[in-house]
Structure 1
Amino acid sequence: MEVILKDLDTEKRNINSENIDLMNTHDILKTINDDDKKVAYAVESVIPDIEKLVDAAYKKMANGGRLIYIGAGTSGRLGVLDASECPPTYGVDPDLVQGIIAGGFSALLKAKEGAEDSLTLAKDDLRKINLSENDTVIGLAASGRTPYVIGGLDYANEVGALTGAISCVKESIISSHAKYSIEAIVGPEVITGSTRMKSGTAQKMILNMISTSLMIKKGKVYHNLMVDVKPTNEKLISRAKNIIISCTDCSLEEAEKYLNLSGKNVKAAILMILTGKDKDTCIDMLSNKNENISSAIRSLYEK
């Protein structure tokens, strides 16, 4: 299906910013901010679609699968950004959530716009990471028409992987190539066609929601604390101690003691303090309850 670029939601002109080149700095900023306020509502309207994709992706992940983002340009960079932040935030292996951008690593720093026009390049990129039926591939394209993403989704479908699509236009092409689609319609950009603005913000918000929800479901969060943080530097060690204190109401000295006794396993340290059990017992409890602290504690009272 041929798409006329100017007819896409992301390419239309914004009547609120038609004279932005004549505005003073305050009015420029106000115009941008007023339009940005619409993004959260656009994302809110697609929460049911996000929910379906998260639940399906979690089933794959619980079965040993990975989450793979693919995209070009701004969308690709956002996917790489979200993926790269999961290991330090939640202590997961870097392979669990991956971002693949058209044109490779160098495209993060310098645009390689031509790479997005290939229908086969994403297939090659996904083959390199040994994509399998246990994985989830989410294609990102504000315009919903990027060939790189279409080719990647088609290959993922061939392999039997779960597929999702995130775009900012109605009835996008990539939606028709994925099992689950999310279309956050944010409207015309303040600067016509500059999808790094509202469209990029919407995609970032949705990616935050997807990866955070998956990490919560994987037991990486206790209450609202990042209990799987890896204390690999001074800042993170301090954060780990504060998390232990917040979860257990213990003293700083006790937090330091149990962080060391647990082998710097924050979740085990918390469970050791709350249950009085030793390190190995707590690690077993967590293992039996999908690494979820609340479920591990409740298991003590199960008959």
Structure 2
Amino acid sequence: MSISEANNISGSVSEFILLGFPCRRDIQILLFVMFSLIYLLTLLGNTSIICAVWSSRKLHTPMYTLLANFSFLEICYVSSDVPKMLANIISQTKSISYAGCLLQFYFFFSMCAAEGYFLSVMSFDRFLAICRPLHYPTIMTHHLCARLVVFCWAGGFLSILMPAVLMSQVPFCGPNIIDHFFCDLGPLLALSCAPVPKTTLTCATVSSLIIFVTFLYILGSYTLVLRAVLRVPAGSGRNKAFSTCASHFLVVSLFYGSVMVMYVSPGSRTHPGTQKFVTLFYCMATPFFNPLIYSLRNKDMKDALKKVLGASSKEILKNTEK
């Protein structure tokens, strides 16, 4: 079937069925409870970091401004697919509209691209702070920080705009069952009723460029940072630098490790079970662990979080007494 013929009947697919996790009802309920708890804790953890940065004057620095924006990104990132996944677990229909599927695809991968840009900018910030400490205040100004934040957000959405437009032109006229819990690239392309080499090549090129360019930049930045830290005499200064950079690099490893297994490993797309597990890890586990990693390894953040959580507890007690 040619693309022109397929387009004539592509309107027959008005919705997709997301299989999600086909298993016994009691196991689905267990998955729903577990994923709901992780989702709520992710929202709570990242919101706490945003509140801590906003409320503490000590944290009104470029590093923590980037971290607060990164935490807000994580909230948007995890909310782009998890609520729909939870709804489908307890639903009998497990459907998503054609438009809803394309929007989910666009927003999820835009957030994913923005995360790569934010991690790159955060590594640049640490490079300046540790390798160019005397020039750091004059280079990493609040104005530059704001421009970098805008670049990350805008870059994420603009990078996925062309793949999203091409995906909207893919003809779907046959099966509409997606063996996944969200509208991922591979399962969607597999349902196309005509070859779409231009779309496949464009999506692969864009994703590879974002993944490898940002990862290599981050790797290069932290290599220079590590060399600089090793030159610092042993003491509190070295320990603090190691602690901060270790937190950042751990987040980078969690994110890029799972993303590369998913989109770079040759055999990952042929195994739906592996595909779901790896995707679940980078779309739920990394946003969940990020607040823990940053708060547990950073004294200033821990102190600010204690104040925020302490103030929240007092407010709750006051409301209870009333």
Could you tell me the TM-score, scaled by structure 1's length?
A: 0.28
More relative contact order, 1 or 2 (CA 8 Å, 6+ apart): 2
Higher normalized strand content (fraction of residues):
1
Could you tell me the TM-score, scaled by structure 2's length?
A: 0.27
